[in-house]
Structure 1
Amino acid sequence: MRRALSITVLIAFTGIAGCTTYHPRPIAPAPLAQQFERRSLASEALHAYVARETGHDVTPWPPAVWSREMLTLAAFYYNPALDVVRAQWGTAKAGIDVASAIPNPVLQLPFQYNNPNPGPGARFTWGPSLDIPIETAHKRGYRVDQATHLSEAARLNIINAAWTVRAQVRAAMLAVYAADERITSLSARAEAERQIAVMSRHRLAVGQYSQPDVDAAVLADTQAQSDLAAARSAEQDARAQLAAAIGVPITALDGVTLDLAAFGTVPPAPPAANAQRAAIFHRADLLASLADYAAAESALQLEVAKQYPDIHLGPGYTYDTGTNKIGFGLAGITLPIFDQNQGGIKEAEAKRKEVAVRTGALQDRILGDLAHALARYQSSLEALQLSDAHLASARRQLDSQAAAFSSGNTDRLTFTQAKADYQTSETARLNAEVAVQEAAGALEDAMQQPLGHEAVNSTLSEETTR
């Protein structure tokens, strides 16, 4: 009896000794805010991350000019949205360990005092026994399959979130590009309108202009100055938008030169069949939905398997008033007489149907968005061609006025007005160009694949966390 008690105590303490201890990791708002304010594009940790993701060192660091690809990698490093989905993937992967765990045996220590004593020995009955569960019908395997599919869906959510971050960086850089180009164009127009207003006042003074003509010139000058101020404000807003997309304070972009040359090129529209194929096979959200459906399938298989009872072995030792007993029986078997887990099976079937419908609806929405994006991109390309033709015509008119001014056939006011009109045509052409780039971004988002030969190299694995 003492030997059995010693073995029981040893088993209990061995299990306790293998337990993991709790380590608190408190967080507070103030340190988090300080950590955010310290983020910088010159960080050596960011340098190491970019080198690892691109496969080569970037020298000098920080680069003199930041391209869209480099800023996208910086966003992959800093943007908190990716940290959230990476953490969710870690939780899902931990779920695989939970699902694959073998059920622990249960140690039972019954004790009974007998009075009167029925036997020759001590007047109590005592003895340790084990309840060892054995799962049947591949239940553990189905749980692991379900957890694995959920983990894959969480991993694909990282890619989906990364694409969203990439799109945010692209949109912000396009806004910076548009604001910078508008500032250049509107500066020239504002200067021309200012000169026109000055010359109009001079002509009014010598009786060559009426007051309404001067008022119109002053109004055009005021409007041009207002448009220029709005463009400068938009440039600041676009830089703040870019900093938010990257996940850094706006001061981190102070003195940073952006490479915006890519927005000056317009890739051709892909064939509709190729775009549709890309959307179906590259959209991470659709692939994640398919993984959710596979998890629902495994969940249904698990519920079906629960119709078959598990086995519980019950070996043990009992001291019974002087008699030593060793048992090898079954601790219990659940008999599926009344329900046979029909409720759980029906619920799992309904869940599988729900996920299937949601996946089909997502694919329909993707194909609809793609068709709309293709049509929008094609129409914006056509509008840009018309704008190019209009700008070329305005350029010829300006050149004609410049030649007439040089030869003395027209005055300075007329020539300056022609320059202001040309800047208006340039602004209209810029608006058409920005519309094309916005349509290109929408088409890339619909396919989750860049147009042309642009690519961003990032594995987005758990190693990308800091």
Structure 2
Amino acid sequence: MHRCRIARSGRRLAPAARLVRGVSALALALLAGCATYRPLPLPSGDGARSVGQLSAPLSARAWLPAHRFDPADGLDVTELAILAVANNPDLRSRRDALGVARAQAFAAGLLPDPQLGLAADFPRSNAADLTTAYSAGISADLGALLTRSTRVAAARSQAQQVNLELLWAEWQTVAQARLLFDQVTTLQARQLRLQHERDALAPLAAQVQTALRAGNLTHDAASAGLNALADVRHRLDDTTVALHQAVADLHGLLGLAPAAPIDLVGPPWQADPSPASVQRALDALPQRRPDLLALQAGYASQEASLRGAIRAQFPAISLGFNTARDTSAVYTHGVTLGITLPLFDRNRGNIAIATATRQQLRDDYAARVLATRTDIRRLTDDLATLTRAAAAQDRHARALAQARRAAEAGWRLGELDWPTYLTIRANALGADLDRLDLRQRRATASIALGALLGSTDLTPASARADTP
């Protein structure tokens, strides 16, 4: 019987030695293409110290309009929205999630690596007719080929869904920037109006205090004058606190450090869509709203997952090839075939889960479309009502402002008693504050309607004077 001997330098290698060297060379080649680890330290999370440190690249999103960007002269509503989309911390995290989804789509297309098996047997006897036995085999799971196309389709649709959800989040960030711009500028106008009223009432309150100390006024008669200034100061403090909160929210939206200054300039954004444009937007909602498109992509991903679950009910097949040598130096070659018998499981559980999930996604989509149409109709009606109310309040505030100026002149000439004068001033102040509140409510409804309609127009409305 022929027996192989271990080859020395310059001689032909035995099959086992050749196999070991081949496997070693293959392992080294595979290790050369492996990924390496690189540390990534955590950031400090302090945020940018100034608006000038923020970036405003427009290449990533083509729907952002071209706009002159110069933070040195303040931020208008368009610059603020662009900065928010480019620098918002939550959007950065969502962009990272998009990278994860794309990596998962890449991984879904990869086939499983084949399995290589090696074994060696060393005889314990020193008999001259015995040699070292070995076996080597390679096998692959063919079932992965059957479901690869559905896995790839599901993963690609999932990545598309994440991308569309990111786009919808960017649109919502634009709406949030518009809303905060309006809130900050309205609160600033409200604060300025209350400061003017406080300064105007301070001399009168001092006169009332002097008359009260001199005994020329009773406390009952002086209460109106004292309470007028105290009420204005209380409203001013509440407005200042609300302004602090709005400015803090704006810092968080931009990823700015808390102490970084923000200078807002220009008019807020407003929309006044016609009924025809609203109807056109409603008809095109499923084709242009990113959140609805994202739900459609998620449904397509689940459809692919269901098809994959149905394919996976077929028997799993693995195929392999092997070679071996026993201790008597007898060589053999063979084929291995493994088949899973579909007797009990048959992937019925995963099929049921995938079917129920598809139905849930379908119902979620229908509910979102219905809720969106309902909200758009409500906001359209609200916007029309608030527009009429704001116009009427503007006329009322202008009339009371004229009465306040006449009362100021009469008060200086001594032709008007101070309780009547305070009443007129209080009515004028209330009308001015109500006007600002109505304008803000109208702006909020307008911004919400623009977001629901899928409006990406960042052009602000015509300038308006908020200070009476």
TM-score for the superposition, normalised by structure 1:
0.82
Query: Matched residues in 1 for 2:216 and 2:81: separation?
Result: 58
SS at match of 1:66: coil
Aligned to 2:4: none
Gap change, CA 1:313 and 1:88, over 3 Å in 2 = same
Alpha-carbon separation, structure 1, partners of 2:142 and 2:91: 41
From 18, 25, 33, give the equivalent of 1:18: 33
C-alpha change, 1:198 and 1:20, in structure 2 (3 Å) is: closer
Structure 1 stretch 72-81 or stretch 174-183: which is displaced more? 72-81
How do 1:18-57 residues align onto structure 2 when only pairs under 5 Å count?
Answer: 18-27=33-42, 31-33=43-45, 36-43=46-53, 46-47=54-55, 49=57
Secondary structure class of the residue paired with 2:390? helix
Cα contact 1:269–1:374 (8 A) shared by 2: no
Structure 1 counterpart of 2:22: 7
Given the superposition, is the C-alpha separation of residues 454 and 198 from structure 1 closer, same or farther in structure 2, using an over 3 Å criterion? closer
Match of 2:8 in 1: none
Q: 2:110 maps to which residue? A: 101
SS of aligned partner of 2:72: coil
Matched, 1:239 2:239: no
User: Cα distance, 1:131 vs. partner?
Assistant: 0.5
- What runs of 5+ residues in structure 1 fail to find an aligned partner? 456-466
How far the C-alpha of 1:235 sits from its partner, in A, is: 2.5
Say which structure is richer in helix: 1
Rounded to whole Å, the distance in 2 between the matches of 1:422 and 1:353 is: 58
Q: Read off the aligned partner of 1:290 and give its amino acid letter.
A: Q
- Code of the aligned partner of 1:166: V
Secondary structure (helix, strand or coil) at the match of 1:127 reads strand
> How many Å separate the matches in 1 of 2:439 and 2:352?
55
Give CA-to-partner distance per residue, 1:70-128, whole Å, 9 cap, x none. 1222222332211221111111111112110012111111334679999x963443232
- The aligned counterpart of 1:63 is 72
Q: State yes or no: 1:139 paired with 2:147.
A: yes
Q: Where does the alignment leave 5 or more consecutive residues of structure 2 unmatched?
A: 1-14, 462-468
Distance 1:278 1:381 in 2: 26
Larger deviation, residues 199-208 vs 273-282: 199-208
Identical counterparts, % of pairs: 24
One of 244, 267, 270 as aligned partner of 2:272: 267
Normalising by the residue count of structure 2, what TM-score does the alignment of the two structures yield?
0.81
Aligned equivalents of 2:306 and 2:362: distance in 1? Answer: 13
Q: Pick which of 302-311 and 217-226 moved more.
A: 302-311
Cα pair distance change 1:78/1:210, threshold 3 Å: same
1:219 paired with 2:227, answer yes
Distance, in Å, in 2 between the alignment partners of 1:204 and 1:6 is: 108
Counterpart CA distance in 2 for 1:251 and 1:64 is 19
Question: CA 1:454 to 1:275, structure 2 compared with 1: closer, same or farther past 3 Å?
Answer: farther
Aligned partner of 1:127 in structure 2 is 135
Partner of 1:283: 289
Structure 1, 127-136 or 197-206: larger mean CA deviation = 197-206
Aligned to 1:380: 386
* Contact kept in structure 2, 1:133 and 1:312, CA below 8 Å: yes
Distance 1:56 1:171, change over 3 A: closer
CA distance in 1: counterparts of 2:319 and 2:41, whole angstroms: 44
**Equivalent residues in 2 for 1:261-410 (5 A)?**
261-262=267-268, 267-268=272-273, 270-271=275-276, 272-277=278-283, 279-320=285-326, 321-327=328-334, 329-398=335-404, 410=415
Q: Please give the alpha-carbon distance, in whole angstroms, between the structure 2 residues aligned to 1:76 and 1:39.
A: 18
Equivalent residue for 1:248, pick from 253, 256, 259: 256
Aligned counterpart in structure 2 of residue 73 of structure 1, from 65, 71, 82 = 82
Distance apart, 1:209 and its partner CA = 6.9
Q: Counterpart amino acid of 2:330?
A: T
Within the alignment, does 1:92 sit opposite 2:101 as a pair? yes
Distance 1:210 1:12, change over 3 A: closer
Distance 1:243 1:165, change over 3 A: same
2:91 aligned residue: 82
Q: Is the 8 A contact 1:200 1:213 kept in 2?
A: no
Aligned counterparts of 2:31 and 2:145: Cα–Cα separation in 1:
31
Offset from partner CA, 1:182-240 (integer Å, 9 cap, x none): 12222232233334435556888999976533321221122122222332333233212
Match of 2:200 in 1: 192
Measured after TM superposition, the shift of residue 23 of structure 1 is 2.7
How many residues get paired?
A: 441
Q: Residue in 2 aligned with 1:458?
A: none
